[in-house]
Copies of this chain bind each other. A is one copy, B any other.
């Protein structure tokens, strides 16, 4: 998945860019990672060590690493290396608004 950018390397708001963003969220594992990063935003912006994320799933750590790379390329998360560990956090806390929206939509559908 390639992030669409302008000539200056600065991303812009094309349909492709939006689609890339949704695509990054279009996987249960990545979604779970994002929701985890959305918890406790008041503590270091909700950042989590990769090692913590690894414990959440029973899949190979290389696979998690790849999922994290997808999220990062799409601009959903950022990462920072400190010592032996790498910490990921949401690129924008307001990202959680999308989930509130979605929950509302899906709940509304389920009522029918």
Contact = CB atoms under 8 A, between A and B. Distances in A.
Contact of A103 (B10, B12, B13): B13
A11 B109 contact: yes
Interface in A41-77: 75
Nearest to A75: B109
**This chain: copies in complex:** 2
Q: Classify the secondary structure of A's interface with B.
A: helix
Report the contact-size class of chain A (Cβ under 8 Å from the partner): 35 or more
A92 B108 contact: yes
A97 B92 contact: no
Contacts of A18: 28, 31, 99, 102, 106
Nearest to A17: B106
Nearest to A28: B15
A86 interface: no
Nearest to A35: B15
Nearest to A98: B101
A109 B94 contact: no
Interface string A19-33: 111110111101110
